[in-house]
Amino acid sequence: MEYREFTGKTVEEAIGKGLEELGLTAENADVRVLEEGKKKLFGSVKARVEIAPKDGVTVKPSSAQTVANKTDGERTVEFLEGLFKLLNITACTELVAEGEKVEINVTAANTNSVIGKRGVMLDAIQTLAGAVANTGREEYKRVVVDCENYRENREATLTKLADNLAQKATRLGKKIKLEPMNPYERRIIHSALAERSDVSTQSEGKEPNRYLVIIPENLEDPSAPAIPARNERNDRRSRGNFNRDRRERSGRGGFNKKPFDRNRRREAPRSSGSGGGTSLKASNDFFGIFLGNSGNDENK
């Protein structure tokens, strides 16, 4: 017989736990009491018992043995399913791959509840998943949790952003500071610009406000602070508004003309006709002129 130890506040509680976990009854189990549970002035002493099946009785595998038989990825998927239930998130979790890294994909009824703003929620879930997968491991195994290709799409967006900002830094000859990003997103920017010879990148600041700076090779003033990065579309829009305002101030392009006043045409004095001018009496005369009838020759 192989005895296993169980604890509880009382002997009865410890025995009950052991019988339930082993799938035994009091009649087909052998119980040995090691420690009586008792209260002390400060704290208490737990009751300890050992339980083993009698000869010829089979026990079911313990929950600890069941967990031990699962892979790191399977344990992580089971954890995430329980986490989503606690968060009241309707989602399905799938173990995509498990080799050098564990890849898990989540499909949710509401993707925003899983991804969050700029992937903050998804990153938090991934951090928890990584902690669960690496429990008891000596070497760290990377865990990636994705939700309906969000990370792939985000990587494409950041790669394009990195290229645009690199061109801008080279064009202006100034350092450009990006907004704070997590290590995963900063690594994407670093990798996207690693092969370029006209710019270099470096991370500055402290977490969680650590950010990335793009430095052009043709930097004009190394001591000058980095300018904040902005969306290229907003930059073009701002430049367009500046040019339009400049034209308005200079009087070119007709932007500074006074708006048309309909009342001014109605209140203007009418010509007497002696100077060969044409008088506009009413709206009918206006349409007549528009159609080619000057009103001076009634026979035409």
User: Domain for residue 276, yes or no?
Assistant: no
Residues 182 and 222 in one domain: yes
Residues 175/201, Cβ–Cβ less than 8 Å: no
Look at residues 128, 148, 168 and tell me which one is the last residue of a structural domain: 148
Structural domain including 212 reads 152-232
Please give the model's pTM, rounded to 2 decimal places.
0.53
The answer on 136 and 157 residing in a single domain is: no
Radius of gyration of the chain (CA): 39
Which pLDDT does position 56 carry in this prediction?
73
Let me know if residue 244 belongs to a domain.
no
Tens of pLDDT, residue by residue over 224-280, are 999 998 754 455 554 555 555 555 555 554 445 555 555 555 554 554 444 444 444
Q: Is the dihedral of CA 71, 73, 78, 83 positive or negative?
A: positive
The answer, yes or no, to whether residue 62 has pLDDT greater than 90, is no
Residue 255 domain flag: no
Q: What CATH number is given to the structural domain containing 131?
A: 3.30.300.20
| Range with top average pLDDT, 37-51, 125-139, 218-232 | 125-139
> At residue 116, what is the residue type?
G
Both 102 and 144 in one domain: the answer is: yes
Is the pLDDT at 193 greater than 80? The verdict is yes
Q: 60 and 32 in one domain?
A: yes
Q: At which of 183, 212, 232 does a domain end? A: 232
Q: Which amino acid is at 115?
A: I
192/226 same-domain check: yes
Give the pLDDT mean for 140-147: 93
Higher pLDDT pick, 192 / 54? 192
List, for residues 76-91, the tens digit of each pLDDT value: 999 999 999 999 999 9
- Note whether residue 75 is domain-resident: yes
Look at residue 153 and tell me whether its pLDDT is greater than 70: yes
Q: Do residues 176 and 188 both lie within one domain?
A: yes
- 283, pLDDT greater than 60: no
pLDDT band with cut points at 50, 70 and 90 for residue 42 = low
The CATH number covering residue 181 comes to: 3.30.1370.50
**Residue 268 included in any domain:** no
**Does 279 map to a domain?**
no
Q: In 10 A of CB 54, how many CB atoms?
A: 11
Do 158 and 188 form a contact (C-beta atoms < 8 A)?
Answer: yes
Q: What is the mean pLDDT of residues 20-38?
A: 87
- Please tell me whether residues 195 and 216 are part of one structural domain: yes
Q: What is the pLDDT of residue 292?
A: 41
Question: In which residue are the tokens 């101030």 written?
Answer: 249
Residue 296 belongs to some domain of the structure? no
Residue 51, both tokens: 């339980």
> What pLDDT score does 259 carry?
55
DSSP character at residue 281: -
Residue that finishes a domain, picked among 131, 148, 165: 148
Structurally, the chain folds into a number of domains equal to 3
Q: What is the mean pLDDT of residues 194-222?
A: 93
